Chains A and B, each alone.
Chain A
Amino acid sequence: MADAGKKKAVGLPLPLMQGLHGEFYRHCAAGRLSFQRCSDCGRWRHVPREICPACSSWNWSWEQSSGRGTVFSYTIAERPMHPAFAELCPYAAVVVEMEEGVRLLSRVVDCPPSELEIGAGVTVEYLNVEPTGSGAGDAEAPGQEEIVLPVFRLA
């Protein structure tokens, strides 16, 4: 896992690059972790939603995150529950709480899982994944766009 950020992960289940979910990942591909922010009440949100759950406004924009957050919780997968992750085991799936207040599920790629701690500061980086897996969102069609996942390293 220590150098996972430098390698292309293969065979992973990938997001479908559709709708607002696709827009989220296109911002990641551009190297800008971004979240929706309500233009009326100013509240940030993740996962993407069409209207603001706080004030029902339809007005929002993608705004770039500081990329900084802290580890909120995690689980260390010792046994693979999906064949694509067998070689990664043990790895930690981590909930990161961003400075903007939103949380997202990700991984901390430069930290052995056993050394992870809740509260640890982390900074975003970007993991390029090839769309060649066997998951729900994969496709081997030529011209398939590049998919980039936001992952984290210790700050």
Chain B
Amino acid sequence: MKDKACIVGVGATGFFRGEGSGKSLHGLQLEAALAALADAGLRAGQVDGIMPFPNLGTAEGFAASLGCESLRFATTVNMGGAAPVASLGVAAAAVSSGLADYVLMPAGWNGYSGPRAGAIVQEMTASIPGGAIARDFYLPHGLVAPAQWYALIARRHMHEYGTTAEQLGAVALAMRKHAQLNPAAVMHDKSMTMEQYLASPMITDPYRLFDCCLETDGAAAFVVTSAERARDLARAPVYISGVASAQPYPADDITGREDIFRTGLTVAAPQAFEMAGVKPADADFAQVYDCFTFEVVQQLEEAGFCARGEGGAFVQEGRIELGGELPVNTHGGLLSEAHVLGMGHVVEAVRQLRGEAAGRQVADASLGVVTGWGDFGDGSIAVLRN
């Protein structure tokens, strides 16, 4: 499947807190979808494949609004925040096998002005694959939210490898620094120091407030087509050179894993790099799903950018900042741009590979990696090139 499919259009809405987006959940995602289609130079009616984000809309609904009269490929990857990148793989398979010509994936939500994550934890938890286990074995003891689930892994990592609060802070600071170069980022013009990071209130130890992703309104979208069709379109195609997604084991119970650090990405990353025929060190940047700071550390390890246990040191001394060894989340990520369910990471990877990232452009970027993380550690990864 290497290089047989391309991302040919990306788009995003503005990102909001405060008054919110002023749009419905559906309307917000339509706006992003239309922006991605305009970017690709496609009419909405040409779309014949739609892959909605889990629980945020239906292919039928998007097709009806967009005027897609010939929808023939409609599926959802049920991997939470890992879904956008995992969907790149499914979309690539669909367009390279002829199941669809143009696959659209919108993702977005009113995560600030709509129901907030904290207020809907039980409904949210019920919808994920391990929902009944969380309901019967986690919730009764007060383990109710993703920040808490993943904090269990972070705490164990700190115990086994000596990972420190300052190292988690280095992730938060790098994302915040990048957001200063991204006018669309919610945290643009709000810089942060290590002192401010360490002084932020503890939410669920070891996670402080500034270890946690933003809650924002916003949406983004991509359009994928075959490499052949991509040549006729408006923009320089971004090739999907390698892509894979996988589950941790067991995927439905975070506590019972023999190796608690082995997540979906541990399985997926070697497959994606092998498909692309490259190594992690070949990447010019990585957009890593940053629901919380530690997940960046852990994914850098499990994707093979560094050895397990070395992620804490890897993120320090500017190595993951622009100009460093591996710039990570050049848009600011979920921590400092906006929480667009991982779709923002795909959009940023495409912009970097097109050379459209303006003040935050990675010089001569030709190969990039984007990851997704969802539910109890589902993982996805794509290796993209221009």
Contacts and interface: CB of A to CB of B under 8 A. Distances in A.
B155 A107 contact: no
B23 interface: no
B148 A75 contact: yes
A79 B209 CA distance: 10
Contacts of A25: 136
B192 interface: no
A16 B253 CA distance: 17
Interface of B is mostly: helix
A136 B120 CA distance: 12
B142 A91 contact: yes
B153 interface: yes
B143 A47 contact: no
Interface residues of B, number: 38
Contacts of B24: none
B206 A75 contact: yes
A67 interface: no
Interface string A52-76: 0100000000000000000011111
Chain A interface category by residue count: 35 or more
B183 interface: no
Contact of A76 (B132, B156, B204, B253): B204
Contacts of B154: 75
B156 A135 contact: no
A2 B32 CA distance: 51
Point out which of B142, B153, B204 has the most chain A C-beta atoms below 10 A from its C-beta: B142
A118 B156 contact: yes
Contacts of A91: 142
Contacts of A75: 143, 148, 151-152, 154-155, 204-207
B145 interface: yes
B97 interface: no
Nearest to B146: A81
B137 interface: yes
B8 to A, nearest CB: 40
A73 B151 CA distance: 9
B61 interface: no
Interface in A23-70: 25, 46-47, 53
B141 to A, nearest CB: 5
Contacts of B204: 75-79, 81
A122 interface: no
B148 A93 contact: yes
Nearest to A12: B140
A136 B255 contact: no
A82 B151 contact: no
Given A15-B137, A137-B140, 11 more contacts: A13-B139, A15-B136, A72-B156, A81-B204, A82-B121, A93-B143, A103-B255, A105-B255, A118-B156, A129-B140, A137-B135
11 contacts: A21-B132, A47-B253, A73-B153, A73-B159, A75-B154, A82-B145, A85-B142, A88-B142, A91-B142, A103-B255, A137-B136
- What are the nearest 9 A-B pairs in CB distance? A75-B151, A76-B205, A15-B136, A93-B143, A73-B156, A81-B145, A13-B139, A82-B144, A21-B136
